[in-house]
Structure 1
C-alpha cells in the first residue's frame, strides 16, 4: 500500500517545505489557527487543490468526512441511496453497490436504523453519521477528516473518536484528523502536524505541544499548560 506522502510540498502562501508520511494505522492530528491551510492539506490529498511545488502520493482508496453542513431539508434522497452513491463514485465506479455493502457501512457507524429515512429530515448528529458511513463504505486506506466533531454533543464526539480509533486499529486505516482542539483525540493521537503562521512542525504530542515550540510557530509567546488532563493553549 502507498502511504500518504508529501515531499517538499507547498501551497503558497499557506505552507511550504512539507515532508510528511502518514503510515498505515497512524492517527495524525492536524492543528493550527484559522487560515493556515489545514483544510487545504486535505484538499491536496483529495486532488481538489494543486501543490505550488513538490509532490504528494495518495493511496488508491481515500475516505473523506467533510465539515458539517446540513443537507437541504427538502432533499428527496434516502440515506441508503446517498451512501450507495458515494460507493458508486469510488472503487466500485460504474457499478451498483450491493445492499449488503451499504448496510455494513451504516451498521459500522450505528446508523442502520436510518437507512430508509430522507437525509434532510435527520438531525445534525445523524447526518454526520451518514457522512461517516459514506467515508467508510469504500474500505478506505486513509481517512481524511475535516473538523468532524463540529456541532456534535460530547457523547457523539466520543462515539466518533472511538469509531475512528477502532477503524485504524482493526483495518490499519490511516487517519488524518483536522481540528482546532486536540483534547477530544488526545488519547488516540500518534503524531501532531501543527501548521502555524511562521512554519510547521511534526512530532508526538509531547514534542509539539510545548510553550517553546508553539511560541516559535506563532512568533510570539504562547503558553501551554495541562489542566485536569487537558491541554490549554493561551
Structure 2
C-alpha cells in the first residue's frame, strides 16, 4: 500500500470510554499546510480526538497516522497548546522562561540555557508579538498575552504541526483576533499545518481550509477549498448565516434579536456561504463589500 502523503490520516478510527462509544468510523485525511478546526457540541469528543492524534488516548478500533507515523511517535515534531495551559502553568515564571520550557522541558537551575536556545526563544516571542514582555512574569500578563506565550512555547522547537485546544476560549475579541493573526502568519509564512479544537468558528473561518466536525458520534471532514459541506454551517449556525466584513476580514455570525432593525445585514444561507468560499476569500470579501455598498446606497 502506498504511503499516504497527508499530515493526519484516520482509518476507521474509534474511541470508547468504558462501554460508551465517544465517536467511531472516523476515516479522513488532512493535508499538509492546512488550517483545520475540530468542531462539535460539548461532549462530542473534540479534545479526545486531539489527544488520540497525540497518542495520549488509545483507539478502540482503526488507526491514526500523524506526520507519517502512528499517533504519538512523531510528537517531537508537533507543537501542542493544551486547553489548560494558561491556568496550569507556573505564573511565577517569566515569559522567556516559559517559552524556553518548550526546548528544555526541565525546571531552571538544573539546565543551563544555551545562547542558541535563548535565540530560538527570542525568535518565537518576536513572531508571536511578545518579545517586549520577555521578562514579565506570567502573573503580570493578560490572558491573551499568556496564550501567545503558550503558542511561542509550542513554536520554539520548530514543529511541522501545531495543535491547539480551544486557543480562543476566555479571551476578549481583540486577543482572539491577535491569536488568529499569529496562526495565519504561521501558516502563510512558515507553511505550518495547524489544527484547532474550537466551539466557535467565527474568528477562525477566514483562515480555515477545512474542518473535522463531530456529528452523531461520527467524525466528518469538510474541505473548504473544494466544497465546504453546507451541513457544517447549517448545523453550527442554523439556516441563515450573516456575513459581516470587518477590517480584520470576514466574520460569519448568526443574527441576534438584539440588533436594531436599521442595522445593515448581508444574509446568506449556509449553502451560499459554501459556494462563496469555493471561489476564494477574495471574492467573498469583494461580494460582501459590494453588497454592503449597495445596501448603503439603498438606505440613503
Q: Is the 8 A contact 1:66 1:145 kept in 2?
A: yes
Superposition deviation, residue 42 in structure 1:
0.9
Matching residue within 206, 210, 235 for 1:187: 206
- 1:32 counterpart = 2:40: yes
Residue range with higher mean Cα deviation, 2-11 or 35-44: 2-11
Residues of 1 paired with 2:23 and 2:138: CA distance?
37
Matching residue within 55, 58, 66 for 2:63: 55
How far the C-alpha of 1:20 sits from its partner, in A, is 2.4
SS at match of 1:226: strand
Alignment of 1:148-167 (within 5 A): 148-167=167-186
Q: Compared with structure 1, are the counterparts of its residues 224 and 116 closer, same or farther at alpha carbon in structure 2 (3 Å cutoff)? A: same
Structure 1 vs Structure 2 CA RMSD? 2.9
Q: Which shows bigger deviation, 201-210 or 16-25?
A: 201-210
One of 225, 229, 232 as aligned partner of 2:240: 225
TM-fit CA distance, 1:66: 2.0
Q: Which residue of 2 aligns with 1:170?
A: 189
Q: Name stretches of at least 5 consecutive residues in structure 1 with no aligned partner.
A: 216-221
- 1:18 maps to what in 2? 26
Q: Describe the shift of the 1:157–1:68 C-alpha distance in structure 2 as closer, same or farther (beyond 3 A).
A: farther
In the alignment, the residues of structure 1 paired with residue 44 and residue 255 of structure 2 have an alpha-carbon distance, to the nearest angstrom, of 17
Q: Contact 2:162–2:195 (CA<8 Å) still a contact in 1?
A: yes
Q: Does 1:83 align with 2:99?
A: yes
C-alpha contact 1:77 1:119 (8 A) present in aligned 2: yes
Cα offset, 1:38, TM superposition: 0.4
Looking at CA atoms only, which structure, 1 or 2, has the larger radius of gyration? 2
Whether the 8 Å contact between 1:68 and 1:150 is mirrored in structure 2 is: no
Matched-pair contact (CA < 8 Å) for 1:2–1:57: no
Higher RCO, 1 vs 2 (CA within 8 Å, ≥6 residues apart):
1
Bigger mean CA offset, 64-73 vs 47-56: 64-73
Q: Specify whether residues 157 and 212 from structure 1 end up closer, same or farther in structure 2 by C-alpha distance, changes over 3 A only.
A: closer
Using the alignment, how far apart are the partners of 1:7 and 1:73 within structure 2? 35
- Give the aligned partner of residue 146 of structure 2: 127
Matched, 1:67 2:83: yes
Partner of 1:183: helix, strand, or coil?
A: coil
Structure-2 separation of matches of 1:107 and 1:228: 33
* TM-score between both structures, scaled by the size of structure 1: 0.84
